[in-house]
Every structure is written in C-alpha cells, then in structure tokens.
C-alpha cells in the first residue's frame, strides 16, 4: 500500500473517531461523560509519559508529582485567590515543567539512568506527597476542596461547569496535546529523542546534545501532566495528597500507555479506552463481591496478557488490522 493511501486512511479514520467523540455527549448521560473524561485525562497523562518513556527512553515512575502539583496549583489559585484557571493552567504548566526540568537535571547531570532514574522520580513524588500531607496551607491529609459552582457560573471564565463542559474541555486539551506531541516526535527534536532512546552514546557521537534533548522531554512531559492534573482538580472538586500525588497515581497512569503501545502516539489513547472502563468494572465488581484490590489483580492480568500476546502494545496490532501502519519494517512511530 502506498504511503499516501495510508495517510488518507489515517486521516479518515481519525476524523471519524473524533466525530464520534464530539457527538457522544448527545447520547450518553453525565455518568458516562465523566467516565469518558477520565479516559481523556488518562490518555493525556499517558501521551505525556510516553513522550519521556516511549520516545526519549526515560522511565519515570513519579508522574504523580506533576499531576498532583498541577492539580494543587490550579485549585489553590482558584480557591484561595479567586484567580481564573485561565491563569492557573499556565502557572501550573510552568511550575510542573520546571519541576520536570529539576528532576531531569539531577538525573541526567549525574548520570542517574534506567532503574535508578525511576527511583529518583519516585523519591521526588513521595517527598511531595509527604510534604503536602503535613502542610497546613494545602489542607494536609484532610485535603483541599473547591467551593461549589455558583449559580451564575460562566464556564468559559471559571473553567468549571457540568460534566458535558469538562468532557469537551478535556477532549480539546487532549487533542491539542496529541497534535503537539505528534508534531514534536516528527520534528528534528523527535529524531534526537529516538536516537538517545536507542543508544545515548551512539547518539552523542553523532553530535546529539543528549543532556539538553533529555531535559526537553522531561520538561514538556511534566508540563502536560500538570495540565491534566489541573483539569482533574476542577472536575473533581476535591484533592487529597494521596489521591493525586500518591504512588498509586503514578502506577495507574503508566498502565494505559504500556497496554496501548510504548513509543506510539495513539497507544496511550487506545490504552486509556481499555484500561479505564476495565478499572471501573473491576472496582464495582470488587465492591459487590467484597474483594478490595480486584482492579489491581485485573491490571496485573491485563499487563501479562498484553506482554505475552502483543509485546509492542495493542495499538501496533490494531493499526495493522486497520491497515493504518506505515512502513511495516520500522518501529510503530506512526500516529
């Protein structure tokens, strides 16, 4: 199949998918809209995390740090100072990408790699959680609550509103982040990311400034994750250190991109579509059966199945089925 036909198919199927998502709130109620929004948030963080792991080759197990801080920044600015999230989001992005740069700087500057880098990211996230659990200003373990939405609320100003509002807002954010990341991984920077991912020393021998390139991945990934956290805060209305900064959060967010396919742009989206509903079902089944942690067991099983059956993830497999894959020999870098 020629390249342009493949591209046309990709655009066509992508548009249909987007159209369905745009029309879906007309036929599903608030409960499902909220669940779909959770899928979008999971996909958004997955896209960001995958930028670091799948494209630049850095394993972060502490993305809760950026998610949680992004959430708290947006929530605190809105609640304590009455500032619009229109301001909160940019500040949240700057703060979290700054944190990503700091963690990255410490890791890359001192040659902390692989598993040790992952431990470093966990340490930072856990430190932040402990700090927030003992910090009066952010409400300690008691959490932070956003006041209820006022009757004269104007969603486009407060960025708060109904389930339908969040649905479209987070969908737009995710779409934007997806397009941005798609642009980045195809750019010169994207080539350098994949080069350092595959072999950092060989990349440096080709003149790739590995340190800077790695830092950029960490900063951008962290910033996007912070934005996702901000939407979570607005939508949820309450934040607890454990629920946004906890270790569980970091782990939950990496399941989707792994299941969907590392180093692919659509993998995190497909992964979120699989993982979030499954998690929801397992939670309900667990409650009904009195089996706590059934969802974790399910995650484990799902990961196991994927690793055995489709080690590259579900997306490359599905893309092949839909005849969406580009050059079959190269890695699934397609959308």
Partner 1 sequence: MLQIESLTKRFSGLVAVNDVSFSAAKGSITALIGPNGAGKTTCFNMIAGATAPSNGRVMFDRHDITQLTPEKRCDLGLSRTFQIMRPLAGMSVLDNVMVGALLRTTSLSVARDEAREILASVGMTSAADRSAASLTLPDRKMLELAKALATKPQLLMLDEVMAGLRAQEAERIVAVLQTLRASGTTILLIEHVMRIVMSLAEKIIVLQQGEKIADGSPPDVVRNPRVIESYLGRKGAAA
Which residue, 205 or 308, has its beta carbon nearer to partner 1? 205
Which residue, 137 or 191, has its beta carbon nearer to partner 1? 191
Which residue, 233 or 265, has its beta carbon nearer to partner 1? 265
Kindly state the smallest distance separating residue 57's Cβ from partner 1, in Å: 9
Which residue, 54 or 68, has its beta carbon nearer to partner 1? 54
Query: Which tokens go with 114?
Result: 């692989």
Kindly state the smallest distance separating residue 104's Cβ from partner 1, in Å: 17
Kindly state the smallest distance separating residue 61's Cβ from partner 1, in Å: 22
Give the 3-state secondary structure of residue 239. Answer: strand
What CA–CA distance (Å, rounded) separates 266 from 47? 8
Q: Which residues bind partner 1 (CB under 8 A)?
A: 186-188, 191-192, 194-195, 197-199, 201-210, 263, 327, 329-331
Kindly state the smallest distance separating residue 237's Cβ from partner 1, in Å: 42
How crowded is residue 64: how many other Cβ atoms within 10 Å of its Cβ? 33
Which residue, 26 or 205, has its beta carbon nearer to partner 1? 205
The residue behind tokens 């590995």 is 210
What CA–CA distance (Å, rounded) separates 129 from 125? 6
Kindly state the smallest distance separating residue 48's Cβ from partner 1, in Å: 20
Could you tell me the CA-to-CA distances from 319 to 9, 160, 183 in Å, in that order? 11, 36, 19
DSSP 53-118: IIIT----S-THHHHHHHHHHHHHHHHHH---HHHHHHHHHHHHHHHHHHHHHHHHHTT--HHHHH
């Amino acid at each position: 199949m020629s390249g342009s036909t493949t591209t046309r198919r990709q655009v066509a199927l992508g548009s249909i998918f987007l159209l369905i998502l745009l029309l879906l709130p007309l036929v599903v109620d608030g409960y499902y809209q909220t669940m779909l929004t959770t899928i979008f948030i999971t996909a958004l963080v997955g896209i960001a995390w995958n930028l670091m792991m799948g494209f630049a080759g850095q394993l972060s197990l502490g993305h809760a740090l950026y998610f949680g801080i992004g959430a708290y920044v947006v929530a605190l600015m809105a609640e304590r100072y009455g500032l619009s999230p229109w301001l909160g989001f940019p500040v949240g992005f700057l703060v979290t990408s700054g944190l990503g740069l700091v963690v990255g700087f410490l890791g890359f500057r001192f040659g902390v790699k692989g598993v040790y880098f992952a431990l470093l990211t966990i340490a930072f996230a856990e430190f932040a959680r402990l700090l927030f659990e003992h910090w009066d200003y952010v409400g300690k373990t008691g959490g932070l609550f956003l006041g209820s939405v006022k009757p004269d609320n104007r969603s486009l100003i407060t960025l708060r509103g109904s389930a339908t509002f969040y649905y479209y807002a987070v969908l737009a954010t995710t779409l934007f982040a997806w397009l941005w990341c798609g642009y980045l991984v195809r750019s010169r920077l994207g080539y350098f990311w994949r080069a350092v991912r595959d072999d950092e020393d060989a990349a440096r021998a080709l003149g790739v400034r590995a340190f800077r390139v790695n830092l950029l991945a960490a900063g951008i990934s962290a910033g996007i994750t912070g934005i996702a956290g901000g939407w979570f805060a607005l939508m949820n209305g309450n934040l607890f250190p454990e629920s946004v900064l906890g270790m569980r959060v970091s782990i939950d967010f990496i399941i989707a991109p792994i299941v969907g396919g590392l180093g692919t742009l659509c993998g995190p989206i497909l992964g979120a579509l699989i993982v979030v509903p499954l998690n929801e079902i397992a939670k309900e089944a667990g409650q009904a059966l009195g089996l706590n942690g059934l969802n974790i067991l399910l995650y484990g099983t799902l990961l196991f199945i994927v690793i055995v059956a489709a080690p590259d993830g579900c997306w490359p497999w599905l893309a092949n089925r839909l005849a969406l894959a580009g050059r079959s020999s190269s890695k699934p870098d397609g959308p």
